[in-house]
Structure 1
Amino acid sequence: MTRLTAHELIDLVFDRDSWKSWDTTITEPARNGTYADELAAAREKTGLDESVVTGAALLRGRRVAVLVCDFGFLAGSIGVAAGQRLVTAIEWATAAKLPLIALPVSGGTRMQEGTTAFLQMVKITAAVTAHKAAHLPYLVYLRNPTTGGVFASWGSLGHVTVAEPGALVGFLGPRVYEALYGAPFPPGVQTAENLQAHGLVDAVRPPEQLAEILDRALRIMTSRPADDERTSVAVPPTLPETPAWESVLASRRTGRPGVRELLFIAAADVLPLNGTGQGEKDPGLTLALVRFGDVPCVLLGQDRHGQTVQRPLGPAALREARRGIRLAQELDLPLVTVIDTAGAALSKEAEEGGLAGEIARCLAELVALRTPTVSLLLGQGTGGGALALLPADRVLAAQHGWLSPLPPEGASAIIHRDVTHAPEMAAAQNIRSVDLLAGGVVHTVIPEFPDATDEPVQFCERVGTALHTALLALMRQDPQQRLADRFEHFTRIGEPLTVAV
């Protein structure tokens, strides 16, 4: 694998002749002996004064701050001088309100400087944390190799993390492992592709494709709707009196469009993300950065295609959803949740994996999230798995979407000790979208003519328009009032309606 130098990578990824270095002359204690010789040799070999270079550049016309390691300088290791250079650049990026792009390649802490160098990772992490707290994007590209303290600090904090194909990425370097334990590290573990398979990185891309994915991420993260755009108020359609059981059957039709079709048809930009970032992923949940029209958002949606009888929605899906909630908070972006599930997993693994606790934490975080939120009941809305994504400022429902504590067959089994009364239970429990609208749970019902399965493109376009309209209206509300209205909406559900006399 060819390893690019810091400036070769800068020339490849960023706009021509746009690089402006922020680096100043290194001032450090005089070094004696072998380490001084190593520093002098590294400087002569690379033409650099340290293992990191920092500055600003244009990425397809957008100004960004950049941190780049060079492996040729003492294996890209981080000592006190490199640590201070990184912190200074991060603080400048934060003050200038610039997106920050980190391109590490490193063996980790510089051993020649010992514990003092090791502790640089704390102050670098603190600077990145402050940058993210200012609602500024932080994007990371893990190169070959990225190990040790770099991977365990600023290399693992990206809002979006991409890795180089075939890159060695891990905490403990394989040479150190073999020296300590007398055996080689298991092959195939510390690779970019294995990390992607376990939900630790979002994508694996070669350097020549990096500009495109970074640009798409920033296009979504930093775009804002035009100030002069007006929201259109649609006349509510007159919906037919469809029996609840017919809606249940319609929501289960094989060809019914789900979150994948919605994004493909209705979204202007989509950047899929991958996993929890903590070693888990669940195909039953889609997490993405998305734009509907000119409105950016974080989207997390239950994927009807990814959920199977063998692998229903599990706790990892809700931990991935919570990653999406954190992204919305950190990037100050609206959040859209899409509900479409036959129910969360009922299994030993789900119980031991903390499913109930994850439902509770999703509810708590959604209720308190300070950014605008829209929930879309797209199809089946069964049980706690559906409830976990429901709290929002605006709740939209497809005409044949429904919400119930159990599937109607399960409710029938409890009440009648059989499943044959499922249609009756569906009607009795008021699970239909029109019942939810009348009961104050849902704000808007999106019509189907007569069924989304029969008109997938037109239906998804209607949903996209409804999402865009709702998001735009919410973004223009006072945040404190919007949060208060959200809380009041859900606290009043189930209260008797008051009628003026």
Structure 2
Amino acid sequence: MTQQATPGRISPEELIALALDPGSFRTWDRPLPRLAIEEGYAEELAAAKAKSGRDESIITGEGSIEGRRVAVILSEFTFLGGSIGVSAATRITEAIEKATHLGLPLLASPVSGGTRMQEGTAAFVQMARITAAVNAHKRARLPYLVYLRHPTTGGVFASWGSLGHVTAAQPQAMIGFLGPKVYKALFGKEFPAGVQQSENLHRHGKIDAVTHPRHLRKFIIGILTVLNANPDELRTGNHPDSAPAVDDADTGARETQSWPAVTASRLPLRPGLRDFLRVAAGDLVPLGGTAGESPKTLAIALATIGGRGTVVVGLDRKGADGGATFGPAELREARRGMDLAEALGLPLLTVIDTPGAELSKEAEEGGLGQEIALTLAKLLDLRVPTMTLLLGQGAGGGALALFPTDRIVAFSNSWLAPLLPEGASAIVHGNTRHAGAMAQQQRVSASAMFQDGLLDEVLEEPDSFQARSANIFLAKAASAVDQHLRDIATTDLDVLIKDRSRRYVPGRP
């Protein structure tokens, strides 16, 4: 990797000016009593106060973003490197608790070398105290948003810096647990360059976005817009929820031969996950690097669909076509999306379009089978309304792990099977020549699945996907998704969870 560049440090005042409405910030800070533990480094504290103009390394308060009240916690690096001692931890904890009491979303922006070494273990264990306060804030289903500034390391990164519902970081910021100076002192060599850079963490899906401070406000507005979307105040005009409702003739399924459906699902011009989101989502905040240029097989996003805030977890065959793999890590990422929906009280939409999971030594050793099981179990017990759109291919256990939800809608040429038909043919016949017959025998097509009670609705497709026909169809699909999300939003959660598995019982009504 190339040598990491050093970004400029952003002061609390600069971040407040960039993110909050002008003049809206009000401090929550109160004078902190002198602690006995601080006597041992009183001169250093005095020097830090003189240098920074602060009484501690933490600034707290509230402001507004487009008129919405937001609590903020900001680190000050010029005060002993933003380190966290007992007093700083008290200020952080009290601010989190106040935000929870007031019902406010919280923006935390650490920049810190970690625990204050002068206070040792007493300071170190404060990370547990802060984490408990964050947990309580999140249990109240209040948004906890994190913006990591340069640098954020040590116990701060390993506690309140890594607990955000959504986490962004400053470009080229050093973000990581281990301090490079400590590594060099212990091992006598430099820590590999670029590993602890925000862009590298984003590539590995450890943070959701790399955002310049001047774009942070827009990023937060997008998140808060989705989280505050009112399903009773729906947009009109060109939004997909104004598309024609799906009529009764479309709700069923014309008889479709399974193998032609499989081949149609693989056509290059067939719309994919990102095409659907482009048409369906009024507001869209991609998470975990899913908006990048490099292909990915799984995407997580916050979106408004029909004016309703929704978490989308989708498998994208176009990522697989671009060489991206779908393995254990992607399933763990899918569960992160499910956790996010549950934590924020938003409905979950899963979108399935995949030729199947990676079949390799690495996938086996990475626990692919176990990850499928854990994801499937998580989805079935998720305590928010859930819905699936079967967009195209649905091969293997990875597809199944995102399938069993409260409502399931499918494109007419979509399908679900335990294995690619070619693979099923190889198992039964010893070759792939019987793939078509196996697809028909296994009843993998949407029409067969509808007849078997496995789908709630099948949407007929155009004969070909040109730009106009694809957009019209995707808008129609978005309208169907919106309608089903509306329907399940008013159903008791315990009833929804109980019914999720009932459709798979033979002979159920």
- TM-score interval, smaller chain: over 0.9
Aligned to 1:418: 431
CA shift, 1:109, in A, is 0.8
Q: Check 1:32–1:220 CA distance in 2 against 1; reply closer, same or farther (3 A cut).
A: closer
Match of 2:358 among 345, 350, 360: 345
What amino acid is the match of 1:382? A
SS of the residue corresponding to residue 170 of structure 1 reads coil
1:213 aligns with 2:219: yes
Aligned to 1:247: 261
What amino acid is the match of 2:228? T
Does the CA-based 8 Å contact 1:275-1:282 persist in structure 2? no
Q: Check 1:419–1:32 CA distance in 2 against 1; reply closer, same or farther (3 A cut).
A: closer
Does the CA-based 8 Å contact 1:311-1:345 persist in structure 2? no
Stretch of structure 1 that moved more, 324-333 or 183-192: 183-192
Aligned to 1:466: 480
What amino acid is the match of 1:430? R
After superposing on structure 2, the runs of 4+ consecutive aligned residues of structure 1 that deviate more than 6 Å are: 31-34, 227-233
Aligned to 1:496: 507
Does the CA-based 8 Å contact 1:53-1:68 persist in structure 2? yes
1:10 aligns with 2:16: yes
Aligned to 1:36: 42
What amino acid is the match of 2:367? G
- State the alpha-carbon separation in 1 of the partners of residues 247 and 32 from structure 2: 62
1:391 aligns with 2:397: no
CA shift, 1:227, in A, is 7.3
Aligned to 1:62: 68
Aligned to 1:274: 288
1:83 aligns with 2:83: no
Stretch of structure 1 that moved more, 30-39 or 115-124: 30-39
SS of the residue corresponding to residue 87 of structure 1 reads helix
Does the CA-based 8 Å contact 1:275-1:320 persist in structure 2? no
What amino acid is the match of 2:12? A
SS of the residue corresponding to residue 193 of structure 2 reads coil
State the TM-score, normalized to the length of structure 1.
0.93
CA shift, 1:115, in A, is 1.0
- State the alpha-carbon separation in 1 of the partners of residues 233 and 498 from structure 2: 24
CA shift, 1:180, in A, is 2.1
CA shift, 1:336, in A, is 0.7
CA shift, 1:31, in A, is 7.2
What amino acid is the match of 2:474? C
What amino acid is the match of 1:102? A
- State the alpha-carbon separation in 2 of the partners of residues 32 and 296 from structure 1: 47
Match of 1:102 among 88, 97, 108: 108
Stretch of structure 1 that moved more, 470-479 or 236-245: 236-245
Aligned to 1:402: 415
Deviations along 1:369-401, one digit per CA (max 9) or x if unpaired, are 010000111101111121111010001110101
SS of the residue corresponding to residue 485 of structure 1 reads helix
SS of the residue corresponding to residue 248 of structure 1 reads helix
Does the CA-based 8 Å contact 1:282-1:316 persist in structure 2? no
Match of 1:146 among 140, 148, 152: 152
Aligned to 2:471: 457
Aligned to 2:379: 366
Stretch of structure 1 that moved more, 475-484 or 319-328: 475-484
What amino acid is the match of 1:263? L
SS of the residue corresponding to residue 501 of structure 2 reads helix
CA shift, 1:82, in A, is 0.6
Give me the CA root mean square deviation: 2.2
Deviations along 1:28-66, one digit per CA (max 9) or x if unpaired, are 226777721222222222221111011111012211110
CA shift, 1:449, in A, is 1.9
What amino acid is the match of 1:319? R
Q: Check 1:497–1:9 CA distance in 2 against 1; reply closer, same or farther (3 A cut).
A: closer
Does the CA-based 8 Å contact 2:328-2:367 persist in structure 1? yes
SS of the residue corresponding to residue 392 of structure 1 reads coil
Q: Check 1:33–1:367 CA distance in 2 against 1; reply closer, same or farther (3 A cut).
A: closer
Q: Check 1:439–1:408 CA distance in 2 against 1; reply closer, same or farther (3 A cut).
A: same
SS of the residue corresponding to residue 106 of structure 1 reads coil
Residue correspondence of structure 1 range 216-365 to structure 2 within 5 A: 216-226=222-232, 234-237=247-250, 239-274=253-288, 283-308=296-321, 311-365=324-378
Does the CA-based 8 Å contact 2:71-2:105 persist in structure 1? yes
Aligned to 2:135: 129
Aligned to 1:165: 171
- State the alpha-carbon separation in 1 of the partners of residues 417 and 470 from structure 2: 24
Does the CA-based 8 Å contact 1:282-1:314 persist in structure 2? no
- State the alpha-carbon separation in 2 of the partners of residues 356 and 32 from structure 1: 52
Does the CA-based 8 Å contact 1:174-1:184 persist in structure 2? yes
Does the CA-based 8 Å contact 2:233-2:307 persist in structure 1? no
Deviations along 1:201-247, one digit per CA (max 9) or x if unpaired, are 11111111111111111211232311799996742426443322111
CA shift, 1:475, in A, is 1.0
- State the alpha-carbon separation in 2 of the partners of residues 309 and 32 from structure 1: 57
- State the alpha-carbon separation in 2 of the partners of residues 418 and 62 from structure 1: 62
Match of 2:391 among 364, 367, 378: 378
Deviations along 1:224-279, one digit per CA (max 9) or x if unpaired, are 31179999674242644332211111101011101011111221111111169xxx
Does the CA-based 8 Å contact 2:234-2:307 persist in structure 1? no
Deviations along 1:88-137, one digit per CA (max 9) or x if unpaired, are 11011111111111010011111111111111111001111111111111
- State the alpha-carbon separation in 1 of the partners of residues 321 and 268 from structure 2: 12
What amino acid is the match of 2:497? L
- State the alpha-carbon separation in 2 of the partners of residues 134 and 37 from structure 1: 41
What amino acid is the match of 2:487? A
- State the alpha-carbon separation in 2 of the partners of residues 40 and 311 from structure 1: 54
Q: Which sections of structure 1, spanning at least 5 residues, go unmatched? A: none
- State the alpha-carbon separation in 1 of the partners of residues 289 and 338 from structure 2: 13
CA shift, 1:310, in A, is 5.3
SS of the residue corresponding to residue 98 of structure 1 reads coil
Aligned to 2:187: 181
SS of the residue corresponding to residue 104 of structure 2 reads coil
State the TM-score, normalized to the length of structure 2.
0.92
Q: Which sections of structure 2, spanning at least 5 residues, go unmatched? A: 1-6, 236-240
Q: Check 1:69–1:497 CA distance in 2 against 1; reply closer, same or farther (3 A cut).
A: closer
- State the alpha-carbon separation in 1 of the partners of residues 234 and 21 from structure 2: 31
Aligned to 2:54: 48
Does the CA-based 8 Å contact 2:392-2:411 persist in structure 1? yes
Report which structure shows greater RCO (CA 8 Å, sep ≥6): 2
- State the alpha-carbon separation in 2 of the partners of residues 128 and 497 from structure 1: 44
